[in-house]
Amino acid sequence: MDVTMMIMKILKKLLFLLLAFLLFLVHKESKGQGVSFTVNAPQQVGAGDQFRVVFSLNDAGTSFKGPSFKGFSVLSGPSQSTSSNIQFINGAMTQSVNYSFTYILQADKEGTYQVEPASITVQGKQFRTNAFNIQVLKGSPNRQRQGGGGQSGGNQGGANISGNDLFIKTLLSKPEAYQGEQITVTQKIYSRVALMGFENVKLPSFEGFWSSEVKMPEQVSLHKETVNGTVYNVAELKKTILFPQKSGTLTIQPMTVTAVVQVRTQGRTTTGDPFFDNFFNGSGFGSSVQNVRKEIKSAPVSIRVKPLPEQSQPAGFGGAVGSFSLKATLDKTEVKANEALNYKITLSGTGNLELVDDLKVEFPSDFEVYDPKISNNISASASGVTGNRIFEYLVIPRNPGDYEIPPLKFSYFDLGKKAYVDIQAAGFTIKVQKGAGGSTAAYTAAGKEDVKILGSDIRYIKTGRPQLRPIGAMFYQTALFWGLFVIPIVLFGLVILIWNRHMRLRGDQSLMKNRKATRVAKARMKKAAAYLKSGEEEAFYVEVSQALWGYLADKLYLPQATLSLETVHEALEKKGVGEALRLRYESVLQECEFIRFAPGDKAGKMEGLYQQSLEIVMTAEKEIS
């Protein structure tokens, strides 16, 4: 008997479950109940608080359009959920369904802000909520309030992502270094959640360091690392080579990033029966995925910088630290007076190359020497800064004779030997012969624009036919004078006429928008093409969508606030646009909006959508009169 009763109860539960499931599939509407579209929001919040604004509808609707929430930061939303209530009274079943659109907001600063109405379409009729005010009071940024329902809105935003789920670390290649020694600093992000992107990246300040940025790949790649027994997805955000410019303890300030994280939310379903509620709310019904933002910051990192030894420091030491080689070349060793020479020094190696700018070359006193032309062939990588720095001197001997440029000595601190090292480049003997007659310097190598032309201070005698005019002839008696007098007056009158016409046209805002519609749409599509080429998906879909909607609004004289597929359809029909083009335009608008907010791979659809949008705008331009 007990077994039979248990089986009957289970069958009854299964029957109710099947019936409820069918009701959810067909979206059966409640009879005798009017459409109600309301909003639930707090009247007062504190500055920095997070809170919820919920728009509720008791019927199935389409084309929901939320307010802009000026004065607040939208952390997430709109998040859509559905709840249902089923009752059996005297053998008759009644059902009510409620649809909710939830925003998680954060109050930015004090003041009173008006929130505009939201709108939605139900059975072809548009419904709007009332506008309302939210007063932001002075409050703690860490306190969070809930705008409706009594639950913490942080559970829908980034507040439930802990510091163990998502964080940034600043890693050093070495904890201490000599002054001038290169240190590799890497910023990594560690995540156990689904990362979608980054915003508001604020790089650390490197006070006390000279820095060289390592070029990072455009596409951030993830790899796995284990930290304290936990496996994380890790990406390198930034890599920089630092050279400490003073000794002591130097601190690298934190890096701040706003991470966009994908989280799953669960809508609550209410049927009035605990069995049904547990089944629907625990089986994945009503769940959705949304992006939330979480600000994370790395911890400051300190480096102990040791001073360079002073006891054995060479007299000509200029602060170079690393490993270097030196080479000197001279383009010729026999010249005539006032002919130019090109003396080139190449400093190669690894270390703080770009900080070396004075080689202290000793030239003969009879040589005229110009400031060196410095060129770099230096690259920064994970292994450090390497390359060469070239100094080109333009040298002009002024008097004949035999001269010497002595060997160039260069001192640096070798990190491998922990000692100072002296290197030198070859010296040169130059034979200068007497110049032939003139004193003009001739030079064809690099830096010739710096050579001064000598002996040219006497101007040439003018040899052309002189321009003479009779005595007593006055300029105001010529046709040129009267032409210059009358032409400005005529031009001024034309400017006045054009300006008046322009102001009349500007007074007709609708006409101005109509004329500019195609030009504005083409400009947006051109911008979308650039985003398509660079692979910026989100920016691409925003530009295409705004181009299509904006073109219709300007061309059909439709206010932005009333734009919808229904109003566009009616306006195109009134303009005599063919049904094929109307359906095609509406299809592309729906596809564009769907792709923007749909998960998954969007890149493969960008090219096709771009071409369709271009063709539709050009075709519409021909049909809309």
Contact 115, 132 (CB under 8 A): yes
- Partnered with residue 46 across adjacent β-strands are 137
Tokens 């009349």 sit on residue:
504
Q: 384: which residues sit within 8 A by CB, 6+ positions away?
A: 182, 184, 241, 350, 351
pLDDT per residue as tens digits for the range 494-515: 888 887 776 665 555 555 566 6
- Checking if the pLDDT of 597 tops 70, the result is no
For the segment 468-483, the average pLDDT, to the nearest whole number, is 72
For the segment 291-309, the average pLDDT, to the nearest whole number, is 89
Instruction: Determine the Cα angle at 17 with ends 11 and 20, to 5°.
Output: 145
When mean pLDDT is compared across 115-124, 247-256, 303-312, 496-505, the lowest value belongs to 496-505
Tokens of 98: 């409620």
Confidence (pTM): 0.44
- Checking if the pLDDT of 459 tops 80, the result is no
When mean pLDDT is compared across 172-176, 219-223, 365-369, 424-428, the lowest value belongs to 219-223
For the segment 554-582, the average pLDDT, to the nearest whole number, is 75
Express as a percent the part of the chain with pLDDT over 70: 74
What band does 214 get if pLDDT is binned at 50, 70 and 90?
confident
Tokens 């008997």 sit on residue:
1
- Checking if the pLDDT of 359 tops 70, the result is yes
pLDDT per residue as tens digits for the range 35-69: 888 888 888 888 877 888 888 888 888 888 888 88
What band does 170 get if pLDDT is binned at 50, 70 and 90?
very high
Tokens of 267: 């809508």
Q: 103: which residues sit within 8 A by CB, 6+ positions away?
A: 52, 53, 54, 66, 69, 74, 76, 77, 78, 79
- Partnered with residue 375 across adjacent β-strands are 390
- Checking if the pLDDT of 167 tops 80, the result is yes
pLDDT per residue as tens digits for the range 516-548: 777 777 788 888 888 888 888 778 878 888 887
- The highest-confidence range among 30-44, 132-146, 394-408, by mean pLDDT, is 394-408
32 conformational bin, left if phi > 0, alpha if psi -120 to 50, beta if neither: left
Type of residue numbered 43: Q
What band does 29 get if pLDDT is binned at 50, 70 and 90?
very low
- Checking if the pLDDT of 91 tops 50, the result is no
- Checking if the pLDDT of 283 tops 90, the result is no
Predicted confidence at residue 287, as pLDDT, reads 54
CATH code for residues 166-263+296-305: 2.60.40
Higher pLDDT, 452 or 478: 478
For the segment 294-299, the average pLDDT, to the nearest whole number, is 88
Predicted confidence at residue 430, as pLDDT, reads 92
d(CA 19, CA 279): 14
- Checking if the pLDDT of 232 tops 60, the result is yes
- Checking if the pLDDT of 92 tops 90, the result is no
- Checking if the pLDDT of 24 tops 70, the result is no
Higher pLDDT, 79 or 401: 401
Rg of the chain over all Cα atoms, to the nearest angstrom: 39
Type of residue numbered 492: F
22-25 CB contacts, 8 Å cutoff, 24+ apart: 23/84, 23/86, 23/95, 24/84
Closest to 198 measured CA to CA, from 254, 260, 256:
260
Predicted confidence at residue 48, as pLDDT, reads 77
Superfamily of domain 29-159: Immunoglobulins (2.60.40.10)
Q: Mind spelling out the 3-state secondary structure of 366-412?
A: CEEECCCEEEEEEEEECCEEEEEEEEEEEEEECCCEEEEECCEEEEE
Contact 245, 208 (CB under 8 A): yes
Region(s) of the chain under CATH 1.20.120 = 509-623
Tokens of 272: 């009035």
For the segment 122-142, the average pLDDT, to the nearest whole number, is 79
- The highest-confidence range among 11-15, 302-306, 477-481, by mean pLDDT, is 302-306
- Checking if the pLDDT of 79 tops 70, the result is yes
Tokens of 482: 């009267």
- In this structure, the chain runs to a length of 625
Cα separations (Å) of 499 from 12, 510, 513?
Answer: 82, 19, 19
What band does 454 get if pLDDT is binned at 50, 70 and 90?
very low
Q: Specify the CATH class of 509-623 in words.
A: mainly alpha
- The highest-confidence range among 81-85, 424-428, 433-437, by mean pLDDT, is 424-428
Type of residue numbered 387: G
- Checking if the pLDDT of 26 tops 50, the result is no
Q: 620: which residues sit within 8 A by CB, 6+ positions away?
A: 551, 555, 577, 581, 585
- Checking if the pLDDT of 304 tops 90, the result is yes
Tokens of 492: 């001024």
What band does 343 get if pLDDT is binned at 50, 70 and 90?
very high
Q: 258: which residues sit within 8 A by CB, 6+ positions away?
A: 198, 199, 200, 201, 293, 294, 295, 296
Higher pLDDT, 25 or 114: 114
Tokens 């190598």 sit on residue:
445
The structural architecture, per CATH, of the domain 310-450 is Sandwich (2.60)
Q: 457: which residues sit within 8 A by CB, 6+ positions away?
A: none
Higher pLDDT, 218 or 505: 218
- Checking if the pLDDT of 613 tops 90, the result is no
Predicted confidence at residue 146, as pLDDT, reads 37
Higher pLDDT, 155 or 161: 161
Predicted confidence at residue 500, as pLDDT, reads 73
Tokens 């900080």 sit on residue:
355
Predicted confidence at residue 345, as pLDDT, reads 92
Region(s) of the chain under CATH 2.60.40.10 = 29-159
Q: How far apart are the first and last CA of the chain?
A: 81
d(CA 75, CA 71): 13
